[in-house]
Chain A
Amino acid sequence: MNSEDMSPPTCRRRLLVQALAGVALVGGTGLAGRALAQTVEATPQDVLDVVVIGAGLAGLTAARDLDRAGCTSFTVLEARDRVGGRTVNHQLAGGVIAEAGGQWAGPGQTAIFDLARELEVEIFPSYYQGRNVYLAGDARYEEDLSAAHGNPVTAKLNQLSRQVPSKEPWTAADAPEIDKLSVAQWLTSQGIDNSSRFSFDTSIGLTTGTPPASLALLHYLSLINSADCSMEKLEGFNGGAQETRFVGGSQVLSTRMGESLGDRLRLSSPVRKIGNWDSDIVEIYTDQGLVRARQVIVALHPALCHQIVFEPALPEGRAQLQRLWPAHAPMRKTVHVYDRPFWRDKGLNGQISQADGPLIFSCDNSPADGSVGILSAFVRSAQLTHEAERASQTLAGIFAQALGDEALQFRQYHDHDWAKVDPWTLTCVGAIPPGFLTRWGRYLKPAVGRLIWSGTETADIWASSMDGAVRSGHRAALEALQALVANRRNA
């Protein structure tokens, strides 16, 4: 026994029972060492059928499915004091919200739309009517994208994506060849011009969190494949995955699912260690004590899995996948609130792309009724001071160059840098480099012992989006239920 554990057995037993009853024992991380040191002495009735780790869209969907299947013996463990993971609402004045994380959905993303309908969350169209503004140095250019139609390069990407199944891109016939290339290397082979380079840089940077230079062509083709083999559907607003928003903000989906779980959801319970995952009863050590379960759904990004100690160590392939899965797509998203969406009166849609400054892309994120004007912006984290006053003014200056001086008169400002706010996201989406999926991809989904992997990264369709998270939750719940049945049969 670990020398840190001084508690007598009875006390230790009480700790365990309390933890299982969902009572927060000791706040903060100080307990981590103690929790890790506890030995397991509980009786079988203390063992849950399933523990779900992570209360993002994936974990909560899995829990909801378990519940609906009649499985009552489960608990969701969430590190943060909130649900929603990579979706979170900024609460603005007057009940208005703006999302700091995932927010858009579109055609083909049926899983998230079904979930919204079941939870009675309304949807509304994103506002994108009017002209976009492009900035480079002092130059400013406006263009109406409704004239958009395909072009040879995207047509070729769409064509190539047909051979790369989103489910397991590494099984594509010429995966080894395709996976040697970054998207940028492929683009240069197509002889693209500077305006295309700018478009791809911005678009792909937003969708995947990494520039085309370090994004695997294989991975990007698999994302396009998810989107009905159409880059336009993957990247576009009109008819694309950015077309629709959720009334009350995307986090509302998770809030509703969390509420219906009652005390089977435990917040502020980061999992630090998972023991005995290869035997009948798995031990899950959290800052709030030890929980034991027959099956575990790990609904986390692979890089977050890597932060957990596994005992015994995971098989080499899975361990390497977690260690090497890229985590450098931290995104920073800001919000400026205006009295009105004034840009609409000028025929502008609030979308601004800047080639050479802190702004990557802004968009109109006003509520459905347009009662206040909200500009949300993705910014280049290190090109904008962290200090709120100066950061908000710098951005407002850029907005003014694009939309007019009214942009200087904002009412509120919010800033969310996912890499710095807390340690529970680390990275936003899939910044997969060449060579990665063909080497490690096959270790992503197969369960290991009693551990079932979930989270949007494991989705068969629409991986890395909210829709993929929901799909991966459904799949994980089915796997867990099937494993419980199989284990009982074998027992």
Chain B
Amino acid sequence: MMKRALLIGVAVGVTGLVLAAVIAGPQMLAGYRFMSALDSHYARYDADVGTWPQPQDTCNACHGASGQSQNEQYPSLAGQQASYLQAQLQAFAQGKRHSAQMEPLAATLSDDQIASLAQYFARQTPLRTDTPAADERLSAEGQASAAARGCSACHGSDFMGGATGPRLAGQGQAYLLSQLLAFKQGTRTDPSGAMNATAGLLSPAEAQALAHYLAGLAAASR
């Protein structure tokens, strides 16, 4: 145990743990407990993601741990269809879908990396991204809109994704709204044209209601 505690931190950095030459008493115990917690944290990584380093490390900042975002501005990847994720990464890499952040990043990935990232995120457990402040009237409007526009035909009856459309349930409200508006304005295009046609019909208020409703849905497990 002494040796273990002595091993704490051999890197120097802004935050760097250092090699403290003499660690004794309560500090050694705290150090030991901290190291155990760190060891289990990384053991979970190795079991879940793979032997370090993996490209997923780069995704975490904007998509959350295991692809589950907790910020409504950033999309969750957890539990998303692998085919959808793969198609989006390819579209970013080829400049067909626009994002200053994602285009260069996706362009650095090989086809194999894209396929394995897509599969990895697809098998993560999805949760609700962020809880939008309750607004029952808006939710009801959104629900009616989803029914009227036939969203479930592509996105599944529980909006967890269908054969042609991605998971929407529990995505962040701000992200959903930004994408509906991007489809409406044509800054994002759906190869089938379906989303551009549908979103083109939405007023800003209806888009807002839809985003609110979908963001509030629980992410069903598959």
Contact = CB atoms under 8 A, between A and B. Distances in A.
Contacts of B37: 136-139, 355
A134 B73 contact: no
A175 B102 CA distance: 27
B98 to A, nearest CB: 10
A87 interface: no
A151 B61 CA distance: 29
A193 interface: yes
A147 B107 contact: no
Contact of A147 (B18, B35, B100, B105): B18
Interface string B1-28: 0000001111111111111110000010
A326 B104 contact: yes
Given A140-B30, A324-B107, A385-B71, A213 B17 contact: no
A2 B37 CA distance: 64
Interface in A121-180: 132, 134, 136-145, 147-154
A84 interface: no
A385 B11 contact: no
A384 to B, nearest CB: 6
Interface stretch (A55-63, A196-204, A264-272, A443-451): A196-204
A383 B70 contact: yes
A365 interface: no
Contact of A384 (B12, B36, B71, B101): B71
Contact of B65 (A196, A199, A383): A383
A211 B12 contact: no
A384 B105 CA distance: 23
Given A139-B30, A143-B8, A307-B100, A356 B53 contact: no
Contact of B62 (A205, A240, A358, A382): A382
Given A213-B55, A386-B130, A236 B34 contact: no
A361 B14 CA distance: 9
A383 B64 contact: yes
A325 interface: yes
A194 B38 contact: yes
Scoring B11, B17, B38, B61 by chain A CB atoms within 10 A of each residue's CB, the highest score goes to: B11
A383 B71 contact: yes
Nearest to A436: B108
A228 B69 CA distance: 39
Contacts of B8: 141, 143, 195
Given A138-B37, A203-B15, A193 B58 contact: no
A433 interface: yes
A193 B7 CA distance: 8
B149 interface: no
B42 A197 contact: yes
B29 to A, nearest CB: 10
A319 to B, nearest CB: 12
A388 B61 CA distance: 18
B18 to A, nearest CB: 4
A145 B14 CA distance: 10
B174 A386 contact: yes
A441 interface: no
Interface stretch (A110-118, A419-427, A468-476): A419-427
Interface residues of B, number: 58
**A-side binding surface: helix, strand, loop or mixed?**
mixed
Interface string A323-338: 1111110100000000
A102 interface: no
Contacts, number: 231
A199 B11 contact: yes
A195 B54 contact: no
A143 B17 contact: yes
B57 interface: yes
Given A143-B8, A195-B35, A384-B71, A328 B101 contact: yes
B156 interface: no
A353 interface: yes
A328 B10 contact: no
Interface in B43-102: 52-55, 57-58, 60-65, 69-74, 95, 100-102
Contacts of A236: 12-14, 16
Contacts of A417: 73
Nearest to A324: B104
A235 interface: yes
Scoring A240, A353, A356, A383 by chain B CB atoms within 10 A of each residue's CB, the highest score goes to: A383
A485 B220 CA distance: 68
A103 interface: no
Given A143-B9, A382-B61, A383-B70, A149 B18 contact: yes
B111 interface: no
Given A182-B53, A382-B69, A385-B72, A141 B34 contact: yes
Given A213-B55, A214-B57, A433-B108, A196 B11 contact: yes
- Interface pairs A-B: 5 shortest CB-CB: A203-B13, A184-B53, A199-B11, A213-B53, A141-B34
5 contacts: A136-B34, A199-B10, A211-B60, A235-B12, A382-B63
